[in-house]
């Protein structure tokens, strides 16, 4: 079976990180979302993969090229203009025969286990088109699904309003017939209308996903995805080329990649992930649910807590970064502090662009885009969003713009 990964969307609510990359190139728990999907596809026995790229496609195309020698056949096709999900799917219509089924995947979803193996089991059971469904904490944001007792989908509401909410939502994974491309043509590229005709005429079965599932929409959900994947880890791994000096303490499950140097007195509390070529300074504290990308530098006495740090980022000595996401090539000066709660302990809101979003989280730090430089002695307020490329002088207080 062939797989199609949709990775062309802008992810406008995921700024500042979607401003410089497609969503599948966000790294959580030591892996890009894209790599995580490919690993699960490979384990599910699927190695013929087509990726639809669009927004900030260069990084994803480069990553696809890096997978040429790992036993997977991965090719990309460009959606040159934003035209919605249906238009994105049609970019690969010539690669799927009318008589065969294909696996369709949304590139911004994360699961704690292999959802692709699960939907394949359902497909072989029903021998017809299948949509994976799940029961999220809130169903107002997603396509809602109604079922009959035989697990056959009877109705789909793509954008529910008022009291139209169903119990289950579409989880962004489908096995569809090759004839689905004709339905998209018939309904002028409308995914919702094409699915509804499939429901009414050929039938669409439901594959129940009961493990954790997340559609990454907002920047703080990167932290949720990171935690979700790390909670699924069962054992530690430390590369042979990693160097741990005397009196380094490791507690819990950790993953330490090649050429890492951890200086004396450092403490790592798992689960946490340290990427290739990282430097961890003396007496630093790496607390649970921290993920460092490749070639990051963490100075003397730094404390990192529940944060995702992308590649090539430097954090100066005696800094505290908590409940935050830092982009690539960020330079944090010594003594920088992220404030991660309000004085009254009320949930943190995040102003992203012109809109303010309620996160429901009482502990939340900052979201710092790529190539940001923050001088020494800075204080970053809770929920601050820093666009890529900004430069801040020393002894400054950073708030959302």
Tokens of 91: 């970019």
Tokens of 108: 């911004």
Question: Long-range contacts of range 355-359, CB-CB < 8 Å, 24 or more positions apart?
Answer: 357/13, 357/218, 359/218, 359/220, 359/383
Question: How many CA atoms within 13 Å lie on the side-chain side of 339?
Answer: 17
Q: List C-alpha distances in Å: 263 to 109, 279, 303.
A: 36, 8, 14
Q: List C-alpha distances in Å: 225 to 28, 102, 132, 170, 310.
A: 7, 26, 19, 18, 14
Distance CA 107, CA 120 (A): 18
SS (H, E, C) 52-108: EECCCHHHHHHHHHCCCCCCCEEEEEECCCCCHHHHHHHCCHHHCCCCCEEEEEECC
The pTM of the full predicted model, rounded to 2 decimals, is 0.93
Instruction: Confirm or reject CATH 2.160.10.10 for domain 237-398, answering yes or no.
Output: yes
Find all residues with CB under 8 Å of 202, minimum gap 6, and list them: 128, 129, 177, 179
Place of tokens 């669409």: 204
Q: Quote the strand ranges of 27-100, DSSP E.
A: 27-28, 31-32, 48-53, 73-78
Tokens of 214: 């997340």
Instruction: Look up the CATH superfamily of 2-217.
Output: Spore Coat Polysaccharide Biosynthesis Protein SpsA; Chain A (3.90.550.10)
Q: State the Cα torsion 75-81-86-90 to the nearest 10°.
A: -40
pLDDT at 310: 97
Tokens of 231: 């909670």
| Alpha-helix residue ranges (DSSP H) falling in 251-351 | none
Structure letter (DSSP) for residue 347: P
pLDDT digits (tens, 9 = 90+) for 327-381: 999 999 999 999 999 999 999 999 888 889 999 999 999 999 999 999 999 999 9
Distance CA 348, CA 346 (A): 6
Nearest to 376 by CA among 334, 315, 330, 331: 334
Place of tokens 């490919």: 38
Cα 160 to chain centroid, rounded: 24
Note whether 2-217 and 237-398 share their fold. Answer: no
Q: List C-alpha distances in Å: 220 to 153, 237, 304, 323, 401.
A: 32, 27, 16, 9, 17
Per-residue pLDDT of the chain (401 residues; tens, 9 = 90+): 999 999 999 999 999 999 999 999 999 999 999 999 999 999 999 999 999 999 999 999 999 988 776 788 999 999 998 889 999 999 999 999 989 999 999 999 999 999 999 999 999 999 999 999 998 766 556 667 888 888 899 888 776 665 556 578 889 999 999 999 999 999 999 998 999 999 999 899 999 999 999 999 999 999 999 999 999 999 999 999 999 999 999 999 999 999 999 999 999 999 999 999 999 999 999 999 999 999 999 999 999 999 999 999 999 999 999 999 999 999 999 999 999 999 999 999 998 888 899 999 999 999 999 999 999 999 999 999 999 999 999 988 877 66
pLDDT at 262: 98
Nearest to 223 by CA among 322, 149, 138: 322
Distance CA 246, CA 312 (A): 26
Tokens of 366: 């900052």
Cα 397 to chain centroid, rounded: 29
Place of tokens 């990775």: 7
CB 252 within 8 A of CB 270: yes
pLDDT at 70: 78
What residue ranges do the domains of the chain occupy? 2-217, 237-398
Nearest to 93 by CA among 171, 173, 189, 24: 189
């Amino acid at each position: 079976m062939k797989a199609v990964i949709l990775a062309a969307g802008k992810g406008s609510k995921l700024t500042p990180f979607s401003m410089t990359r497609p969503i599948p190139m966000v790294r959580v728990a030591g892996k890009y979302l894209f790599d995580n999907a490919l690993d699960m596809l490979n384990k599910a026995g699927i190695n013929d993969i087509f990726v639809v790229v669009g927004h900030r496609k260069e990084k994803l195309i480069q990553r696809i090229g890096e997978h040429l020698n790992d036993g997977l056949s991965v090719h990309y096709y460009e959606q040159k203009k934003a035209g919605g999900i249906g238009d994105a799917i049609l970019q690969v219509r010539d690669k799927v025969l009318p008589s065969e089924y294909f696996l369709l995947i949304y590139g911004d979803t994360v699961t704690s286990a292999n959802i692709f193996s699960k939907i394949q089991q359902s497909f072989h059971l029903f021998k017809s088109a299948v949509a994976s469904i799940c029961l999220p904490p809130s169903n107002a944001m997603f396509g809602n699904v109604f079922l009959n007792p035989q697990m056959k989908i009877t109705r789909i509401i793509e954008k529910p309003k008022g009291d139209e909410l169903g119990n289950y939502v579409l989880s962004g994974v489908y096995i569809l017939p090759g004839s689905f491309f004709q339905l998209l043509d018939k309904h002028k590229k409308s995914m919702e209308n094409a699915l509804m005709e499939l429901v009414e005429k050929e039938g669409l079965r439901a594959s129940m996903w009961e493990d954790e599932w997340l559609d990454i929409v907002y920047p703080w959900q990167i932290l949720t995805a990171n935690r979700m994947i790390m909670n699924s880890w069962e054992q530690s791994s430390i590369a042979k080329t990693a160097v741990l000096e005397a009196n380094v303490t490791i507690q819990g499950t950790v993953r330490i990649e090649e050429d890492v140097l951890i200086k004396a007195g450092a403490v790592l509390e798992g689960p946490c992930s340290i990427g290739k070529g990282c430097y961890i300074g003396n007496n630093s504290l790496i607390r649970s649910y921290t993920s460092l990308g490749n070639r990051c530098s963490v100075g003397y006495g730094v404390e990192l807590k529940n944060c995702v740090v992308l590649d090539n980022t430097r954090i100066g000595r005696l800094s505290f970064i908590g409940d935050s996401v830092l982009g690539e090539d960020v330079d944090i000066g010594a003594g920088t502090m992220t404030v991660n709660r309000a004085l009254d302990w009320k949930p943190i809101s995040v102003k992203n662009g012109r809109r303010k979003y309620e996160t429901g989280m009482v502990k939340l730090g900052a979201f710092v885009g790529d190539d940001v430089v923050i001088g020494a002695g800075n204080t970053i307020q809770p929920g601050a969003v820093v666009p890529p490329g900004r430069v801040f002088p020393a002894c400054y207080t950073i708030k959302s713009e």
